[in-house]
Amino acid sequence: MTKRIAVFASGNGSNFQVIAEQFPVAFVFSDHRDAYVLERAKSLGVPSYAFELKEFDNKAAYEAAIVDLLEEHEIDLVVLAGYMKIVASTLLAKYEGRMINIHPAYLPEFPGAHGIEDAWAAGVAESGVTIHWVDSGVDSGQIIRQERVPRLEGDTIDSFEERIHAMEYRLYPEVLESLGVKRHQE
């Protein structure tokens, strides 16, 4: 049996799109009702849900609503792809060990919300991409896979960023497959 996945994204959703083109996605969740990822889901025919933390009394109630969705859809693996919230105890209690994240830097270098910009500003010769299990820290869970991405002569932050995203689009599908998620049937 293939693992059933849900993808969480807060904004653009390009990683979600790459994943959904290659693997069945049970649903996408966004914590922003106007996120572009929801348009992508519609075009790809992937069910989507969106609600915002501010619509709930507290984070525990917000995460309890997410857990309900995950349980309703019998999700085996939660795939964070540009989900910009820290995962808190309600969600972790149920899904730690079944939740992965992609980070656009070579962890533990440059954790946090600005991995690409921070690496660029530090003037490093190379950065990278990391996929890791989610724990209660920020980008601190056990690493599943990481690859280096060089900063090339003549790079601008845009070309550097593009090269990092290209690595993300290559690595996430490989990792999903290695974790037992089956691709779309031909």
Please give the annotated binding residues, written as ranges.
Answer: 13-15, 59, 84-87, 101
Name the residue with the smallest CB distance to ligand GRF: 82
The two structure tokens encoding residue 46: 């992937």
Q: Which is nearer to ligand GRF, 63 or 139 (CB)?
A: 139
Q: Does 168 bind ligand GRF (CB under 6 A)?
A: yes
Residues in 75-104 at the binding interface with ligand GRF, rule: CB under 6 A = 81-82, 102-104
Q: Which is nearer to ligand GRF, 8 or 62 (CB)?
A: 8
Q: How far is the CB of 13 from ligand GRF (least distance, A)?
A: 5
Among 9, 66, 107, 167, binds ligand GRF (CB under 6 A): 9
Cα gap 158→141, rounded to integer Å: 28
Q: How far is the CB of 186 from ligand GRF (least distance, A)?
A: 25
Burial of residue 57, with CB atoms counted within 10 A of its CB: 0-12 exposed, 13-18 middle, 19 or more buried: exposed
Q: Count residues contacting ligand GRF (CB under 6 A)? A: 13
Known catalytic residue: 103? yes
Query: Strand 77-80 to strand 99-103: parallel, antiparallel, or no bridges (unpaired)?
Result: parallel
Give residues with Cβ within 8 angstroms of 139, minimum separation 6.
101, 103, 107, 108, 111, 112, 115, 130, 132
Task: Select which of 32, 73, 103, 114 is catalytic.
Answer: 103
Q: How far is the CB of 57 from ligand GRF (least distance, A)?
A: 27
Residues in 145-164 at the binding interface with ligand GRF, rule: CB under 6 A = none
Burial of residue 59, with CB atoms counted within 10 A of its CB: 0-12 exposed, 13-18 middle, 19 or more buried: middle
Q: Which residues are catalytic?
A: 103
Q: Which residues bind ligand GRF (CB under 6 A)?
A: 9, 11-16, 81-82, 102-104, 168
